[in-house]
Amino acid sequence: MTTSLHHRAIENLGTRIVSGNLPAGHVMLAEQLEVELKVSRSVIREAVRVLQSLGLVETTKRVGIRVLPPSRWNPFDPQVIRWRLASDARGAQLRSLAELRAAVEPAAAELAAQNAPAPLRLELVDVAYAMRDAGHNGEVPRFLELDIQFHSLLLSGSGNEMFANLMGQVAETLTGRTVHGLMPDHPHEAALQWHVDVAEAISRGDSAAAREASDRIMRRTMSQMSDTWTEQPRVFIPVRR
């Protein structure tokens, strides 16, 4: 009752498709889904429309509802990301997000140093120092919270709405990293200082220093996580012409 029926239908089909349970090329009939999910046609139709806009299925007359291959999915949609994180491809999704983050955050730091509003800069500095303290004291949950806030502020301060939109996904990777025990109780001392460096550089408008310090953080986290990813298969999306 808490969520609407069509929403539940979307979740059901979305998770099954992304998990590979419903493979690409598999065709379903609207009528069959009605009885399977025990909902009416209108609910099915609304759910299919949303899945269609996400690139997960296509509908063809006289054929039915066909599941599309992963290369057609919208990899930036929050729902698709969530479903992938809940599937066997969780590792590959985390790597993709981490690579994206590693590319974007230094650029965001550079832009934030140029454009961020003054209050945001001040808050960023406060959070960086609070992070350092929490890290020294081994307060893991508080450190995670501040870490998410720091990187959210950084992305938001870039003034690029696409960068800012990655906040949610970044939070996923950070929490995922701590939940999976990939974070030590006491974060690396240099990394803590680099966060402070980023905040201070942004605060004084030094875009080059901000980018460089952020880049250092990203390179460290990437090298830290790369060990666990080597076995993840990479997917090459063909070029559409």
Q: Which does 70 bind (CB under 5 to 8 A by kind): a second copy, DNA, none?
A: a second copy
Q: List the one residue out of 153, 138, 19, 110 whose CA is nearest residue 73.
A: 19
Q: Which long-range contacts (CB under 8 A, 24 or more apart) does 42-45 make?
A: 43/5, 43/6, 43/9, 44/9
Dihedral of CA atoms 142, 143, 145, 149 in degrees, nearest 10, equals 140
Segment interacting with DNA (CB under 7 A) among 54-62, 78-86, 122-130, 226-234: 54-62
Segment interacting with DNA (CB under 7 A) among 12-20, 56-64, 87-95, 163-171: 56-64
85 three-state secondary structure: helix
Q: Which does 104 bind (CB under 5 to 8 A by kind): DNA, a second copy, none?
A: a second copy
What's the min distance (Å) between Cβ of 126 and DNA? Answer: 35
The helix-helix angle for 167-179 and 90-115 (nearest 10°) equals 130
Considering the complex, state which of residue 1 and residue 239 has its C-beta at the smaller distance from DNA: 1
Q: Which does 241 bind (CB under 5 to 8 A by kind): DNA, a second copy, none?
A: a second copy
Q: CB of 77 within 8 A of CB of 93?
A: no
216 three-state secondary structure: helix
Q: List interacting residues with a second copy (CB under 8 A).
A: 6, 10, 42, 45-47, 49-50, 53-54, 70-71, 74-79, 95-97, 99-100, 102-104, 106-108, 111, 115-117, 120, 149, 152-153, 156-165, 167-168, 234-241
